[in-house]
Copies of this chain bind each other. A is one copy, B any other.
């Protein structure tokens, strides 16, 4: 299989926690070309359990993210199995993999853009879910460097409720003794399937299930077929320690949790100079629009635009629903034109 991505080898990276990530590797894909002014960069990070190819649904010549105009960089989240992860780290793999924050991720992405590409500006940082959280980080950590951000179905800080939801996901996995505190020799399959079943209720809205979109739109034959062949299979593919590494990153996500903002979220949000378009979905169960409204209220240059959809959190996922894709794409076109 052809490797459709490149790697940025960052050496031994001292993480925010003080721990060292040895031979840190950031895997990334690019679309389009860097212009002579080196300012047509769009950074579009991946999401929980996603990989760069899973972002391609929003990229295209007819799309806002147009590779004939922009140089689109899709960095893989640390822990996702392609960038440095528990499953691929020789020195500190498995359960020994250190905790990495989104701050660590975005600093590494910044090094990629500045050291390898010598990019002068980021025209847009955009992403879904944990990708949205990274877009927020870009805005807060590099206010002079980032012109626009478009986080959709995500937050600047993981809410307490979102944290609790993820505690359930984590507990379902760890209830499987085959997990063996991360020292498993074969995958803890029952735990990973349980993760899928727990996630199923959260990933789409009540109205999605009421309308039977799993059958009528996604083509599954029954609810059980959807749970098994969409949800369980989504997570049985993932290495359990990778999953837990990304979960820990997500639970701790907070643009103010660093020595710049010292936990002052209002200050961090207030420091985002980028023109921001924040797009929650109005039926998202764990990044609800109320949270986005609060965050937008603390940002100097932000617009809240709610995605009107019954697809819940998955309104922004994988291009599953055409109407949502069109809405998001159109909104980003507007932002890029502004």
Contacts and interface: CB of A to CB of B under 8 A. Distances in A.
A36 interface: no
Contacts of A161: 201, 205-206, 208-210
Contact of A159 (B163, B174, B197, B210): B210
Contact of A175 (B160, B163, B175, B201): B175
Contact of A290 (B167, B198, B200, B207): B207
Contacts of A198: 168-169, 171-172, 198
Contact of A168 (B178, B194, B209, B291): B194
- Number of identical monomers bound together in the oligomeric complex: 2
Given A209-B164, A210-B291, A227-B167, A175 B159 contact: no
Main secondary structure of the interface of A (DSSP, over half): helix
A194 B206 contact: no
Leading 3 A-B pairs by shortest Cβ distance: A168-B198, A171-B197, A171-B194
Given A172-B197, A206-B290, A210-B290, 15 more contacts: A159-B206, A160-B210, A164-B227, A165-B201, A168-B200, A168-B201, A171-B193, A171-B194, A171-B198, A172-B198, A174-B190, A177-B177, A198-B198, A201-B202, A210-B291
Interface of A: 159-161, 163-165, 167-178, 190-191, 193-194, 196-202, 205-210, 212, 223, 227, 285-286, 288, 290-291
